[in-house]
Structure 1
Amino acid sequence: MDFTVTYEPTPDEVARALEQGVRQQLRTTYLILPLVLVASGLICILVDATYTGTLMLVLAVVFPFVLNWSIRRTGKRQLTYLCVPTTIRLTDDGYEARSDHFTSATQWSLFGRIVTGPEFWLFFVNKQFTGFLSRRAFNGEQQAEFDAFLASRQSARVT
């Protein structure tokens, strides 16, 4: 595998990728914290601490919305850095990304997990979301080749 593409991510695309990546990273928090708040809220209500219980129930409902808003707000600060024409080169060893604002090269072995989705490839190091590549940047043949490459790396890691 060795191909080079140039593309410019859109602000909406960056926001969606960040949201998906951080949501994957914080999957446990997204599930457990609201459940803990609901359980604690119900217990508080049962022991006549109604105000505290009601507050916990409201927080359980509001928490996912606040977290998504926070992720989008953080992403908006990085748009001028990320939404620029970028040249990406994928090889068997890793990938390089270059723009007027940055240059980076990363070996595939650095990533503990790469999530393949319908819109993005999401990259994780030590369970932390570190970046993404948009499928839109690549033609169908390149997407298939990269998916096959990732699948072969995954099967090699399992055996």
Structure 2
Amino acid sequence: MDFTVEYEPSPGEVVRALEQALKHQLKALIWLFPAFLVVFGAVFLLLGNIGIGLGMLVAAIVVPFVIPWSLRRAARKQVPFICVPTTLHVTDEGYESRSEKLTTQARWSLFSRVVVTPEFWLFFANKQATGFLPRKAFTPAQQAQLDARLAPLTNPSA
């Protein structure tokens, strides 16, 4: 496998990729934090501390809405650096992304896990989101080659 493509991601595409990657990275936090707030809110209510108990229960309701909003906000900050004409060079060893503003290079061995979505390959190293490649930047044949190369990393054992 050795191919090079020219691509310019759209702002919406970048926001969706980063949001999806962060949701995978923070999956436990997104579920555990509201549960924590409910449990301790109930404890405070039982102990008679109504203000703190109600505050925690309200926060448990609000947090699931605030987290996706904050993820989108954080992702939008990256848009100016990523939404530029980019050259992607992909080989059996890894990939390089080169633009006027940023050049990154990574070997496939860096990644502990790859999440495949209909739109992206999302890359993780030690449970941390580290990058993505947009599927539509590649031809169907190139996508198939990438899917085959990344298949060992797509089974989430981490």
Tell me, in whole angstroms, the C-alpha distance in 2 between the residues paired with 1:65 and 1:108. 34
Report which stretch shifted further, 22-31 or 65-74. 65-74
Tell me, in whole angstroms, the C-alpha distance in 1 between the residues paired with 2:66 and 2:153. 35
Which residue is equivalent to 2:66?
66
Which residue is equivalent to 2:102?
102
Pairing 1:143-158 to 2, within 5 Å after superposition: 143-151=143-151, 153-154=152-153
Tell me, in whole angstroms, the C-alpha distance in 1 between the residues paired with 2:130 and 2:81. 15
Q: Which runs of 4+ in 1 moved over 4 A?
A: none
Which residue is equivalent to 2:136?
136
Tell me, in whole angstroms, the C-alpha distance in 2 between the residues paired with 1:71 and 1:40. 25
Residues 27-46 of structure 1: per-residue CA shift (max 9 Å, x gap):
11011111111111122222
Which residue is equivalent to 1:29?
29
Which residue is equivalent to 2:91?
91
Tell me, in whole angstroms, the C-alpha distance in 2 between the residues paired with 1:114 and 1:154. 5
The residue type equivalent to 1:86 in the other structure is T
Structure 2 stretches lacking a partner, 5+ long: none
What secondary structure does 1:123 align onto? strand
State whether residues 112 and 126 of structure 2, in contact with CA within 8 Å, keep that contact through their aligned partners in structure 1. Answer: yes
Which residue is equivalent to 1:121?
121
Tell me, in whole angstroms, the C-alpha distance in 2 between the residues paired with 1:116 and 1:79. 21
The residue type equivalent to 1:67 in the other structure is I
Q: How many residues align?
A: 155
What secondary structure does 1:59 align onto? helix
Tell me, in whole angstroms, the C-alpha distance in 2 between the residues paired with 1:65 and 1:115. 24
Calculate the TM-score normalised by the size of structure 1.
0.91
What secondary structure does 2:118 align onto? coil
CA drift of 1:78 comes to: 1.6
The residue type equivalent to 2:114 in the other structure is I
State whether residues 84 and 99 of structure 2, in contact with CA within 8 Å, keep that contact through their aligned partners in structure 1. Answer: yes
Structure 1 stretches lacking a partner, 5+ long: none
Tell me, in whole angstroms, the C-alpha distance in 1 between the residues paired with 2:50 and 2:18. 37
RMSD of aligned residue pairs (Cα, Å): 1.6
